[in-house]
Structure 1
Amino acid sequence: MITSPLFLFLSLLVLSCLLQVSSNRDAEILTRVKNTRLLDPDENLQDWVITRENRSPCNWTGITCDITNGTSLAVTAIDLSDYGISGGFPYGFCRIRTLISIDLSQNTLNGTIDSGPLSLCSRIQVLILTENNFTGNLPEFSPEFRSLRVLELESNLFTGEIPQSYGRFSALQVLNLNGNSLSGIVPAFLSNLTELTRLELAYISFDPTPIPSTFGNLTKLSYLRLSNSNLVGEIPDSIGNLVLLENLDLATNHLTGVIPQSIGRLKSINQIELYENQLSGKLPESIGNLTALRNFDVSQNNLTGELPEKIASLQLISFNLNDNFFIGELPNIVALNPNLVEFKIFNNSFTGTLPWNFGRFSKITEFDVSTNKFSGELPPYLCYKKKLQQIIIFSNQFSGEIPESYGECHSINYIRMAGNKLSGKVPIKFWELPLTHLELYNNQLQGSIPPTISNARHLSQLEISRNNFSGVIPAKICTLQDLRVMDLSRNRFSGSLPSCINRLKKLERVVMQENMLDGEIPSSVSSCTQLTELNLANNRLRGGIPPELGDLPVLNYLDLSNNQLTGEIPSELLKLKLNQFNVSDNNLYGKIPSGFQQDIFRPSFLGNPNLCAPNLDPVRPCRSKLGTRYILAISIICIVALTGALVWLFIKNKPLFHIKPKRTNNITIFQRIGFTADDIYPQLTEDNIIGSGGSGLVYRVKLKSGQTLAVKKLLGGSGQKSESESVFRSEMEILGRIRHGNIVKLLMCCNGKECRFLVYEFMENGSLGDVLHSEKEHRAVSPLDWTTRFSIAVGAAQGLAYLHHDSVPPIVHRDVKSNNILLDHEMKPRVADFGLAKPLKREDNDGAAAADVYSMSCVAGSYGYIAPEYGYTSKVNEKTDVYSFGVVLLELITGKRPNDSSFGENKDIVKYAMEAALCYFSPSPQNEALNRDSRGNYRDLSKLVDPKMELSTGEYEEIENVLDVALLCTSSFPINRPTMRKVVELLKEKKSLE
């Protein structure tokens, strides 16, 4: 049959008209959906407009059309990923009959996805909705979705279990549900999806679930990710059936048992991630068959045995075996790998020497073999390829000198070599490397610090204590503007402390005890306003203690003991909030400032025979220089003269005694009281001082009525712009309007020329810190039982929750610690000391403290309680209080101070508790301190719990629950910390579970 030219022309004309009609229809659908269902605040879709000249959407943003022979056809794909759009799910897109792909990822779409309207999309092959805010249960898919090949719903807010319908996608190749709040178990019916090439179910809080053995049927899988999904049990042997698998990620679960030999059948595997589980046994030799493997991480398990040579010979890029129980020597063949970039085997029990040619054939960047039992000399070729960035070898038995070649490695920025037997002089060029971190402490190194250390201009931590370094501290060290920690202690440094230290504005710790430093303490150190610790003990320092040290706003550790210091103790030091203070064994003289005349400071002054204090044994009492006879004679004369004067006044002007002095003070009453300021004045004597702080002295005042008050007398005069003025204003403005049973009551304040004090209710049992940590017997029940500690925790949490959520405006305390939680006669807690408190500016809709962030000029608070982000950024909100309260909870559990020396070097109570909480053990019927956690494992609390408490099994369980709350509160990331209102709920819930 011959087709006429006219017929062909008419056919093309009809087809063109049909295509134009289809194109017009698609454009109308798109614009209707945009206008009714979506919000486009950034106007990224402004070209979605139908014009007379162009009614085709094929050139619109995010639109793809099927193009044949240059003729525009209908819309086939919509890709609006990361366009900043919001609104609900745009079901209307699916009215485009030719549409097969929708990608709406990385937007702020929200709401639920209903299965009814979703049926419009049954022709879709690709649906990608990752990183949005969709809620409710996962969308149900009807049987008509036979063509669906890609379904990605990662990082939304979906809840509930995975629907059964997800096991019926006969064509599905990709299923990604990562990062949703799903429940239930990992369903075995997903093994019906035999066309799957990628399956991702990571970061989902499933119920404890084993890996379904039927997943071995998914033989087309190339990517399997089930990390952080609460998996338990053993890795099924059927895993070996996935012969096309390239990436296996089962990390951060609770998998147990041995790694199956069948894993050696994964011939295509490129990456295996099994870290942070509880796998045991030896590494299967079959892993050595995986010649395509490039990234291998089995760290943080319970693996044992030696490293098989066959595995060591693999051409790996990253090789991570850390935090296991491996033993034996490293096979030399591991050093011949030309691909090796990352090598981490720390926290094991490897022995022997490192391969001599390590680094000679590879571009290694990270090398961490710390905390093993290696010995011998360091490999000289470690930086042969000039790519090495980190060398971490601490806590081994390495000996010999640091290779000269390391000084030529200008790529290195991080070195930790502490705790070895290294000796000899450190190569000169080693000091000049562009480091940020240098740890050499606990070795046998010699030599001096050269002035060229100034080349390490970004160095933030210099820790070289416990060596044999000598010479003077070069002034060039003051050019290290990023230096935060300088620990030169226990060496043989001489000369004076550089006066230019004031240029190191970021210094937080200066530790130089046990050297031979002489000269005076430079007053310029007061410019280091972030300094929290200054330890210059056991040197030969002379001169006086600079009064300027009292100007350091966050200093809480000051040790100047065992030197040759002279002069009086400056009263300016009373402005400091010191947890550790020691000036013993010097040549100081004079009267100890009244604020230091407390039992807690008694050892701080021993070995200074010329110091005196009225009632601070064994410090001698202060005496007049005149002899006793002269004192007696003068006293008699004064008494006679005074008596005569009083008699004369009485006769001449008897009404004088009825005239009260006219005071010009401003008195503010905050509570109903039965006393006046005149009742308080006579009691503000040295004998009644019970405490001191940066802003003033605290007195115990007992009135004639029998009532006892606590009075804080502030330093300085009225209106002075000082720290005490700031404290006065803060406490008066905040406490004056607060009424809560767990916040200390401010009764009255007096502000004027003659008086500047604040009057509070008196707390008979002092502070929680005193009760927990005082070395002497306390008035309170000693030791505190767990019931009392728990009650204190709940009460203090309720007080802070009131500040954050119920006060208008919300208040952030900024100095939450055990010493600022006071206890009344019934051991009921009161949050106190609001001198650093700040109101937040806004509230959210339910009255909770807003996410406002205060940027402070300097970090305030107390060492050990300060949240990490506050120390680094000087920014504060209510989550900084939550962190500090978490530290208090850990104090209640452990009975230890936040920086107790028993925790070890560079470790605080948070890190100590975190490490102890992650330790799991086999159950022992003899040990009541072993408790099951939420995953059914046994956790040993015996190392954490205060041994002074006698506990029942039920109380151990409650302590473990409170421990979990404390670890939540002290999360490194503020976003992960609960609000104080939630903390109260969690604590009360735990209590009710008893």
Structure 2
Amino acid sequence: MALVAAIVVLLLQLCDLSLALNQEGLYLLEAKKGLADPSNAFSNWNPRDSTPCSWNGVSCSSSSPDAAVTGVDLTNFGVAGPFPASLCRLTNLAFLSLSWNYINSSLTDSALAPCAALAHLDLSQNLLVGRLPDALAALPSLTYLDLTGNNFTGAIPPSFGRFPRIESLSLVANLLISTIPDFLGNLTTLRQLNLSYNPFAPGVIPSALGNLSSLEVLWLAGCGLIGDLPPALGRLTRLTDLDLSNNALSGRIPESFANLSSVVQIELYNNSLSGPIPPGFGKLKSLLRVDASMNRLEGPLPDDIFDAPLLESVHFYSNRITGSIPADISRSTSLVEIRLFANRLNGSLPADLGKNSPLMLLDLSDNMLSGEIPANICDRVGLEQLLLIDNMFSGALPEGLGRCRTLTRVRLRNNQLSGEVPAGFWGLPHLWLLELRGNSFSGEISPVISGGANLSKILIDDNKFSGSIPSEIGALSKLYEFSASNNQLTGSLPASLSNLGELGQLDLHNNSLSGELLQGIQSWKKLSELNLADNAFTGSITPELGDLPVLNYLDLSGNLLTGEIPIQLQNLKLNEFNLSNNDLSGALPPLFAREAYRNSFLGNPGLCRDLTGLCPVSQGRRYHRGFVWLLRSIFITASLIFVIGVAWFLYRYQKYKKAKLGTDKSKWTLTSFHKLGFSEYEILDCLDEDNVIGSGGSGKVYKAVLSNGETVAVKKLWGTSKKDVENVNQSTDDGFEAEVATLGKIRHKNIVKLWCCCSHRDCKLLVYEYMPNGSLGDLLHSNKGGLLDWSARYKIALDAAEGLSYLHHDCMPPIVHRDVKSNNILLDGEYGAKVADFGVAKSVEMIGKGPKSMSVIAGSCGYIAPEYAYTLRVNEKSDIYSFGVVVLELVTGKLPVDPEFGEKDLVKWVSSTLEQKGMEHIIDPKLDLRHRDEISKVLGIGLLCTSSLPINRPSMRRVVKMLQEVSAENKPKTEKTDGKLSPYYCEEGSDYGSVV
């Protein structure tokens, strides 16, 4: 009886619930049932309520007597699962947003067809797959559709040319193919069209888009567009925003663009446009920004270019523009940013530049400009960045710059500037980068420098500065690099320098500094480079230098140092070590008493006993004259044989080297992607086995120290046999060149910079920037892994994620790395991470292989995504899996494959150990468990990235967002505004206009 009573009570409760909640609430509960809700976002969806109108994300009509549901907004709820079709059974639903979730599977026509009242549909930033459904275009009330950031495939269907009322259509960052169709020109109600960053096949911009008379926004960035800009676009008189960047458009900018009377922003950067900039932009009354950088535009700037009354930003950098800057620029009252670097501009700047306009950024680097810097450049007291690198400016710095308190970056390298620097200039409160190197400045460093609280880099090499270094420099708590070599500085090092806890590089070589080396330098925990060569320092070398944890460059040569070499210096892992030409004495520390270190101690007579050749041979004993003659004869004969042998060896070696590198250096082809301070001949001369620093699947890597002091890494791609080379067709060669050209265009702070490519027959050389701290894998899994605390590892993960996100989402076509691993994540002097070796594996496969050859295995053991075993194909999802393995390495400190795992790899070991023993058995014991919460969240991201099903892995853009959300101190570096994704472009990593 008790059981029967309980059943009756339960049935009554269920009956009450069904009576309590209306039908629309039941539809919503059905939708909830099909979605995973890890963050408990549906916590107040209470089935006991009579209506769902108070539930999170639900809105109802106040005018309707039954309070009908009119809107469902689940944006960023973190829910996962298929599209909840039951939502379309809400007959009054006009607004539906499921953006920034994990909605997966495909959209079906049957699921969408009932949404007859739907006017606003936002499914952006999810994991939807399959083709675009025809049912979307059949929704009679739909005016807004946003499917950005999913994985839709196939072509845009013809049905999308028949939307009855559509006003905003956004299909950004999917996997759509074919070309942009003409039938989109039939959507005369359209106000916004955004198709950016899809892998469309190369195609032209349909002229039919000129029929969209209501269009206000046209975004076609990164769509594989080729051919000329259609003049028909000039008919879009209501257009406010035109973005055609990151394509391969060619030809001229149509003069009809001057008819875009409502346009606010024109973005044409990173194409192959040529010819002159057409006149007429000056009459565009609403124009705020024009960006046609990274093209092949030539000829002078039109006289009226700066006449647009509201114009704030002008970007024409990296073109071939000639002539002088129009004088009209000084009359503009609205200019905020001017970026004209890397052109062929000449002449002087208008004297009144900056007097009338609120300039914040002026970058005219890498031109042939001359004359003086305008005295009024900061009259409006808003100038933040002044970048005039590599020009011919002369004269003194304007006094007004000493009062320009808003300045944050000043780069005047390699000009002909002279005179004393205004005293106030040294102490500007917001200035963090001061670069004056390569000029003729004189005078002293002012004690006012103590006011420069934000100074991080002071680069004043190659000038005529004199006097002593002021003790006030010790107040610069954020100073990371102080480089003042090749000047005329005198006096001793101020003791206050030892207070600089952030100091990473100190280079004062070739001055007239004196006194003893600093003591009490324990705070220099971040110092990686110390160069005090060619001064007049006296006294002994402080043993404290050996306790600096990251010091890898030490040069104290050419001084008057005495005493013994401290044994503590053996603790350092040095890439550069030079104590020559001092007066050191005593025994060498055991580690240094080797032939490999001989050149580090030349010219120290007191060190003769440990290594031969350090000093002149002493005159010791006298020998019998005949015996000496005999020895001399034997020596001469042996020397002659030795010389002949060496000559023969060198002849054969040079013959072999020429055979490998090409007999005639002049036949080498150099393709540069940045302004170079070296030639291909210097690179070739450094390809010695002594300079090899690594060898991988795609080639051997050399460290090359060049005559200008720069260090680069040279990758010599594995060659092929002569027979193979003869079988390589022209398309293969062109494919390699196209691949490398693509890599050379990449500009991002988390991608290793490709300086240039050298090629000759079957030999290919890639010249990269040199990363002093090596690879993450080598550091993390060595005895120096303890240097990477949690904050460093978190930053490395975020840096690498941003680099991969750029390759996947902001490059067109997207670049799949194919071999993401900790050894391909390199670390700069500040342990910032940069992704390396992307695309090279694909390029190497092309050398010596016919078009029918099978691809080599893509990836490295332990990092290869499981689906590769049955598909033999790699894509962005494969990279995401490999990145997840790197994240697990950072958390655990373990290798991706290790005997302790048995038959498992790191991913399986982490999953099983986490389930059986808990997280404390996974975290690297070197890490501080005070960060346990952050470590746990990052571990979760790593496990999500290594999901066995590719569809469950988030995109790299999503990974970046999740990592940024882990710590409140890490703010996002990109923003999403009005549905538009803003890619990184040339400025990152460039010497000109870049963040250093």
TM-score (norm 2): 0.64
Partner of 2:178: 184
Partner Cα separation in structure 2 for residue 780 and residue 484 of structure 1: 47
Partner of 2:126: 132
Residues 758-788 of structure 1: CA deviation (Å, up to 9, x unaligned): xxxxxxxxxxxxxxxxx9999998689599x
With over 3 angstroms needed to count, the CA separation of the structure-2 counterparts of 1:440 and 1:120, relative to structure 1, is same
Deviation at 1:122, TM superposition (A): 4.4
Q: Is the 8 A contact 2:601 2:614 kept in 1?
A: no
Q: Is the 8 A contact 1:58 1:72 kept in 2?
A: no
Amino acid at match of 1:149: T
Amino acid at match of 2:93: L
Residues 4-30 of structure 1: CA deviation (Å, up to 9, x unaligned): xxxxxxxxxxxxxxxx99993222222
Pairing 1:205-604 to 2, within 5 Å after superposition: 205-315=199-309, 316-434=311-429, 435-525=431-521, 527-598=523-594, 600-604=596-600
With over 3 angstroms needed to count, the CA separation of the structure-2 counterparts of 1:259 and 1:896, relative to structure 1, is farther
Deviation at 1:517, TM superposition (A): 0.4
With over 3 angstroms needed to count, the CA separation of the structure-2 counterparts of 1:594 and 1:375, relative to structure 1, is same
Pairing 1:582-661 to 2, within 5 Å after superposition: 582-598=578-594, 600-612=596-608, 616-617=612-613, 619-620=615-616
Which of 23, 26, 34 is the equivalent residue of 2:24?
A: 26
Q: Is the 8 A contact 2:279 2:302 kept in 1?
A: yes
Partner Cα separation in structure 2 for residue 141 and residue 192 of structure 1: 18
Amino acid at match of 2:273: L
Partner Cα separation in structure 1 for residue 198 and residue 297 of structure 2: 26
Q: Which has the higher contact order (CA 8 A, sep 6+)?
A: 2
Q: Is the 8 A contact 2:353 2:377 kept in 1?
A: yes
Which of 43, 47, 54 is the equivalent residue of 1:46?
A: 43
Amino acid at match of 1:352: G
Q: Is the 8 A contact 2:61 2:69 kept in 1?
A: yes
Deviation at 1:307, TM superposition (A): 0.9
Partner of 1:933: 738
Deviation at 1:123, TM superposition (A): 4.2
Deviation at 1:499, TM superposition (A): 2.8
Give the superposed CA RMSD.
4.3
With over 3 angstroms needed to count, the CA separation of the structure-2 counterparts of 1:395 and 1:575, relative to structure 1, is same
Aligned length: 710
Deviation at 1:306, TM superposition (A): 0.9
Residues 781-818 of structure 1: CA deviation (Å, up to 9, x unaligned): 8689599xxxxxxxxxxxxxxxxxxxxxxxxxxxxxxx
Partner of 2:981: none
Partner of 1:108: 102
With over 3 angstroms needed to count, the CA separation of the structure-2 counterparts of 1:967 and 1:600, relative to structure 1, is closer
With over 3 angstroms needed to count, the CA separation of the structure-2 counterparts of 1:930 and 1:498, relative to structure 1, is farther
Partner Cα separation in structure 1 for residue 710 and residue 432 of structure 2: 17
Deviation at 1:508, TM superposition (A): 1.5
> Which range moved further: 184-193 or 934-943?
934-943
With over 3 angstroms needed to count, the CA separation of the structure-2 counterparts of 1:942 and 1:476, relative to structure 1, is closer
* Aligned-partner SS, 1:611: coil
Partner of 1:715: none
Amino acid at match of 1:933: A
Partner Cα separation in structure 1 for residue 515 and residue 78 of structure 2: 64
With over 3 angstroms needed to count, the CA separation of the structure-2 counterparts of 1:991 and 1:412, relative to structure 1, is closer
Q: Is the 8 A contact 1:523 1:548 kept in 2?
A: yes
Residues 410-442 of structure 1: CA deviation (Å, up to 9, x unaligned): 111211122222222211111110211111111
Partner Cα separation in structure 2 for residue 501 and residue 131 of structure 1: 50
* Aligned-partner SS, 1:510: strand
With over 3 angstroms needed to count, the CA separation of the structure-2 counterparts of 1:430 and 1:985, relative to structure 1, is closer
Partner Cα separation in structure 2 for residue 967 and residue 505 of structure 1: 25
Partner Cα separation in structure 2 for residue 111 and residue 524 of structure 1: 63
Amino acid at match of 2:422: P
Partner of 1:655: none
Which of 140, 144, 153 is the equivalent residue of 1:150?
A: 144
* Aligned-partner SS, 2:401: helix
With over 3 angstroms needed to count, the CA separation of the structure-2 counterparts of 1:288 and 1:204, relative to structure 1, is same
Q: Is the 8 A contact 1:378 1:403 kept in 2?
A: yes
With over 3 angstroms needed to count, the CA separation of the structure-2 counterparts of 1:114 and 1:458, relative to structure 1, is same
Q: Is the 8 A contact 2:428 2:451 kept in 1?
A: yes
Amino acid at match of 2:386: I
The higher radius of gyration belongs to 1
Residues 106-128 of structure 1: CA deviation (Å, up to 9, x unaligned): 22323322233232324422211
With over 3 angstroms needed to count, the CA separation of the structure-2 counterparts of 1:44 and 1:407, relative to structure 1, is same
* Aligned-partner SS, 2:607: strand
Gaps of 5+ in 1: 1-19, 630-774, 788-821, 830-864, 866-883, 914-924
With over 3 angstroms needed to count, the CA separation of the structure-2 counterparts of 1:505 and 1:785, relative to structure 1, is farther
Pairing 1:162-181 to 2, within 5 Å after superposition: 162-181=156-175
Q: Is the 8 A contact 2:197 2:223 kept in 1?
A: yes
Indicate whether 1:951 and 2:764 are aligned.
no
Partner Cα separation in structure 2 for residue 559 and residue 393 of structure 1: 31
Overall identity of the aligned pairs, in %: 36
Partner Cα separation in structure 2 for residue 128 and residue 137 of structure 1: 17
With over 3 angstroms needed to count, the CA separation of the structure-2 counterparts of 1:164 and 1:287, relative to structure 1, is same
Deviation at 1:450, TM superposition (A): 2.3
With over 3 angstroms needed to count, the CA separation of the structure-2 counterparts of 1:173 and 1:505, relative to structure 1, is same
Partner of 2:111: 117
Residues 678-727 of structure 1: CA deviation (Å, up to 9, x unaligned): xxxxxxxxxxxxxxxxxxxxxxxxxxxxxxxxxxxxxxxxxxxxxxxxxx
Q: Is the 8 A contact 2:137 2:164 kept in 1?
A: no
Deviation at 1:401, TM superposition (A): 1.8
* Aligned-partner SS, 1:558: strand
Pairing 1:464-863 to 2, within 5 Å after superposition: 464-525=460-521, 527-598=523-594, 600-612=596-608, 616-617=612-613, 619-620=615-616
* Aligned-partner SS, 2:130: coil
* Aligned-partner SS, 2:561: strand
Q: Is the 8 A contact 2:212 2:236 kept in 1?
A: yes
TM-score (norm 1): 0.65
* Aligned-partner SS, 1:357: coil
Which of 890, 897, 901 is the equivalent residue of 2:706?
A: 901
With over 3 angstroms needed to count, the CA separation of the structure-2 counterparts of 1:557 and 1:142, relative to structure 1, is closer
Deviation at 1:909, TM superposition (A): 4.5
Q: Is the 8 A contact 2:603 2:615 kept in 1?
A: no
With over 3 angstroms needed to count, the CA separation of the structure-2 counterparts of 1:990 and 1:447, relative to structure 1, is closer
With over 3 angstroms needed to count, the CA separation of the structure-2 counterparts of 1:111 and 1:937, relative to structure 1, is closer
* Aligned-partner SS, 1:279: strand
Partner Cα separation in structure 2 for residue 118 and residue 379 of structure 1: 63
